[in-house]
Amino acid sequence: MTKILSIGTQKNMMLTSEYAVVEVSVNDLDFVFDCEYAAVFIFTTSESTFLSWLSKVRSNSINFHSLIYTENSDFSDLAMVDGLIPNNIDDKINYYLLRKEELNLNTNDNLENKLLSYLWMSKERSLRPSRIINKGVNYKYPFIELWDQGEGKDLWLNRMVKAGHLAQEKLIDRIRQCGSCQSSLLNYVDCCSDCGSIDLKIERALHCFACGHVGDQNEFIRSGGMVCPNCLNTLRHIGTDYDRPIENQRCNNCNNIFIDAKVSVHCFTCGQKNDIDDLVQKEYFSFTLAHNGIIKIKTGNEPQLLVTSVGELVTREHFSWMTNWLNKMAVRKNEHHLFVGLKFVNLLELTKAMSTVALTGQLEAFNERLRKLLRTTDIFCQYSDDTLFFLLSGVSEQSIKIIQEKIGTISKEQQGNPLELIASLHLLPESTLSNNVEFWLAERAQKMGN
């Protein structure tokens, strides 16, 4: 039976009409979760109490993906909170339960599965960083920190994006850190570009129109008025008698004069003096689920839906290198090779909407037909979530027609089915390719999208 947990006192609020509410005192932090709660409401005005409960729920192995709501707008934007208590709470819970049914991951075994499941349970969720004030401002992803205290989270997140499990959603912030100790407690100081001294003074110079003399403004002050020290003209009106040229800076240590000072960045933590270029720049994003992550959630397997049974896959880098090389060989040896792009137009929608078993069946049937077409010498790569690129080398002109027809047939056989396929064939050599193969491939993918 679906339950929801209400922590602390709520004032006359009808939380749900459908589900059983379990109430617990906000001070009962020793509370032991005996079952899964679809939603948890935390009623408190104390930030520390709220954060304790938030961590307690998110680090609990059966409740880490529960919906968490607050009535306090100070806490509703925190990284692991689902927001203010919505009006349609039962709808949210129903959606949660629906998602739960589709969840096919063992969430006990690792961080990756936990994170994917957490993101899956609510449409609005993303993995968000929180600002941490420690050795300056820094960002951490609280959800990840709860489950893994190790280092190298940035790399791990990068890998998750590369694998297509997560997608960058929004750039939250960019920070700079000391090149020596990674602290971001930094002081940006103007200094002399010659001797490095920070003892600078600003000199305001005046420019006499009558004789063109430029000098420190103090030199112009004579018995209450302003007189040019060079031509002795009295300067009355700015704009007609004189003006102020750009302000200069003078180094009190070496007397060097300059307009723009050099900026040196002193680390308060370790004392290192960094040049701006020596600073380590870091960007923090929020992340949402990507295509492969959704497949993994629904199947429990690493997603290689498209290609598992077709043959051996090469990386995009290798594929573009091969394309370029074959293109050159085609010119030199007067041969023909065939580039084939296949785009599964509605794959992403299908992974969301269709039963996994049925979709896997569809793709397997497709792979079967494709296998018949390919030889072991043909190479292919997964260019994007829903696009495969192939290179069929040493194709005779007669066989091109056959291949074209066969691919046409494969496409047509797919037509009545929910899986929509677009094919694009290009005979190599292709003169526009040699300038920039990456661009050429991107263009092929782009054209299939339209």
CB closer to Zn ion out of 211 and 238 = 211
- Other beta carbons less than 10 A from residue 102's beta carbon: 13
CB closer to Zn ion out of 98 and 231 = 231
C-alpha to C-alpha distance for 86 and 391, rounded to whole angstroms: 52
Cis peptide before 418 (omega within 30 of 0): no
Give the nearest distance from C-beta 173 to Zn ion in angstroms.
20
Give the nearest distance from C-beta 239 to Zn ion in angstroms.
15
Sign of the CA dihedral with 138 first, then 63, 121, and 159 last: positive
Closest listed residue to residue 136, CA positions, set 286, 282, 285: 282
CB closer to Zn ion out of 178 and 354 = 178
Give the nearest distance from C-beta 197 to Zn ion in angstroms.
5
Residues found near Zn ion in the complex (CB under 5 A): 178, 180-181, 183, 192, 194-195, 197, 208, 210-211, 213, 228, 230-231, 251, 253-254, 256, 267, 269-270, 272
Give the nearest distance from C-beta 269 to Zn ion in angstroms.
5
- Other beta carbons less than 10 A from residue 256's beta carbon: 15
Give the nearest distance from C-beta 278 to Zn ion in angstroms.
10
CB closer to Zn ion out of 181 and 348 = 181
CB closer to Zn ion out of 52 and 180 = 180
Here the tokens at position 166 are: 């997560």
The b/e string for 159-191 (b: 16+ C-beta within 10 A; e otherwise) is: ebeeebbbbeeeeeeebbbbeeeebbbbeeeeb
Give the nearest distance from C-beta 141 to Zn ion in angstroms.
23
CA atoms within 13 A on the CB side of 78: 25
CB closer to Zn ion out of 130 and 230 = 230
CB closer to Zn ion out of 44 and 177 = 177
Burial class (CB in 10 A: 0-12, 13-18, 19+), 432: exposed
Give the nearest distance from C-beta 164 to Zn ion in angstroms.
36
Q: Amino acid identity of 46?
A: S
Sequence-distant (6+) residues with CB within 8 A of 358 are: none
